[in-house]
């Protein structure tokens, strides 16, 4: 699998998710089997580049290659400038956001709203490609199937983007109108794959090894991009890779191994965000990690009242140790979360 001249370890990708796919999370997913991960979207507004949020998103210290940064905006010249800004800070691949359904993004005609204005979308693609090409940086595009059920124009945009020099296109199998509701559909992704020669990535509702196999078969896609299913379960990438290679499912991770991964992630997370923000932004990652585990909901409630990083990490370690006393491996999906005694010492 290649993006332009850049060869990837495999065809399992981490989707860009605002507030989720920061550098520590991307690194964790890569360690656990993802071949590629795209950053949270970075705004094209120059006046926001010095903000703490953007400076963190543009921080790639210690990140394993390839470093991919997603940019968002509505002005072609500003998007080109944003591409160069991020290349100067280590980006090796630039991804254009034409898929975000969030109202605060679409209300400004960015993200998936751009699919309503094909000339503007193409102008942005052309400007970003022109800025990146002299620097040897491939440009990719992430979009939806269309704006609404009546206007599924992903095929038209993909063809135009390929002609403009886009190296790869990712399609989320929902319209902007759907948001994240309903089921993803894969016929449009298959149509995009049939229409272009560049790599096509399927995204949407890939939440298990068997679903990964089925989506690849249905779409003919070159790769899979996984988002929400990796929250709290970053080892899904190695599970899918193993299943696709062997046809057999891996056993669930051991509890103490999951504890080790989570504590490593927290340490990296605290290092990026510091004490005050670190303990607060880590809560969602911990919540995702324990939500399907016995006693997880009650522990999450108790953990959300902890105010220091050291105390938070210690509570997580102790909770997983107690879980390991009763379960060698993480329970599979559907196991009742009723071991409330696990939270008594939180």
pLDDT at 176: 78
Q: Are residues 326 and 225 in the same domain?
A: no
pTM: 0.90
100 belongs to the catalytic site: yes
pLDDT at 335: 39
pLDDT at 177: 76
CA-wise closest residue to 218 among 183, 252, 250, 262: 183
Q: Are residues 192 and 283 in the same domain?
A: no
How far CA 120 is from CA of 76, 98, 127, 186, 212, in Å, comes to 8, 11, 11, 26, 33
Containing structural domain, residue 271: 255-343
Q: Are residues 240 and 260 in the same domain?
A: no
Q: Are residues 148 and 220 in the same domain?
A: yes
Q: Are residues 162 and 291 in the same domain?
A: no
Q: Are residues 184 and 296 in the same domain?
A: no
pLDDT tens sequence across 196-234: 999 999 999 999 999 999 999 999 999 999 999 999 999
Q: Are residues 21 and 158 in the same domain?
A: yes
Q: Are residues 308 and 240 in the same domain?
A: no
Q: Are residues 152 and 273 in the same domain?
A: no
Q: Are residues 132 and 177 in the same domain?
A: yes
pLDDT at 343: 33
pLDDT at 341: 35
Catalytic option among 29, 100, 106, 132? 100
For tokens 């932004």, what's the residue? 281
Question: Of 246, 270, 292, which one is at a domain's C-terminal end?
Answer: 246
Contact call for residues 276 and 321 (beta carbons, < 8 A):
no
Question: Of 223, 246, 269, which one is at a domain's C-terminal end?
Answer: 246
pLDDT tens sequence across 46-101: 878 878 787 788 778 889 999 999 999 989 999 999 999 999 999 999 999 986 65
pLDDT tens sequence across 300-340: 999 999 999 999 999 999 999 999 999 999 865 433 334 43
Q: Are residues 271 and 337 in the same domain?
A: yes
Q: Is the pLDDT of residue 110 over 80?
A: no
**Residue 231, domain CATH:** 3.20.20.70
Q: Are residues 337 and 189 in the same domain?
A: no
Question: Of 193, 228, 246, which one is at a domain's C-terminal end?
Answer: 246
Q: Spell out a b/e string for 52-89, using b for 16 or more CB atoms within 10 Å of the CB, else e.
A: eebeebbebeebeebbbbbbbbbbbebbbbbbbbbbeb
**Average of per-residue pLDDT across 148-165:** 92
How many structural domains comprise the chain? 2
């Amino acid at each position: 699998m290649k993006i332009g001249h850049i060869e990837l370890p495999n065809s399992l990708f981490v989707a860009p998710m605002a507030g989720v796919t920061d550098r520590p999370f991307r690194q964790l997913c890569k360690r656990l089997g993802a071949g590629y991960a795209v950053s949270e979207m970075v705004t094209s507004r120059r006046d926001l580049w010095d903000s703490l949020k953007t400076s963190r998103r543009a921080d790639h210290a210690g990140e394993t290659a390839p470093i991919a940064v997603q940019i968002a905006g509505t002005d072609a010249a500003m998007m080109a400038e944003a591409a160069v800004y991020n290349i100067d800070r280590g980006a090796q691949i630039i991804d254009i956001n034409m898929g975000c359904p969030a109202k605060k993004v679409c209300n400004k005609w960015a993200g998936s709203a751009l699919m309503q204005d094909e000339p503007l979308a193409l102008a942005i693609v052309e400007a970003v490609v022109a800025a990146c090409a002299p620097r040897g940086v491939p440009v990719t595009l992430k979009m939806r199937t269309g704006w609404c059920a009546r206007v599924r124009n992903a095929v038209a945009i993909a063809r135009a983007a390929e002609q403009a020099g886009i190296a790869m296109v990712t399609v989320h199998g929902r319209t902007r109108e759907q948001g994240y509701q309903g089921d993803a559909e894969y016929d449009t992704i298959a149509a995009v794959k049939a229409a272009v020669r560049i790599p096509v990535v399927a995204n949407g509702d890939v939440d298990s090894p068997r679903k990964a196999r089925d989506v690849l078969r249905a779409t003919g896609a070159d790769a899979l991009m996984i988002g929400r299913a990796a929250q709290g379960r970053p080892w899904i990438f190695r599970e899918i890779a193993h299943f696709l290679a062997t046809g057999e499912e891996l056993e669930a991770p051991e509890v103490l191994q999951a504890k080790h991964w989570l504590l490593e992630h927290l340490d990296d997370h605290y290092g990026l965000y510091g004490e005050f923000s670190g303990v607060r932004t880590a809560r969602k990652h911990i919540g995702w990690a324990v939500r399907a585990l016995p006693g997880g909901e009650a522990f999450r409630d108790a953990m959300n009242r902890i105010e220091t990083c050291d105390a938070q990490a210690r509570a997580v370690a102790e909770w997983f140790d107690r879980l390991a006393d009763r379960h060698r491996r993480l329970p599979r999906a559907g196991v009742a979360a009723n071991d409330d005694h696990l939270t008594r010492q939180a």
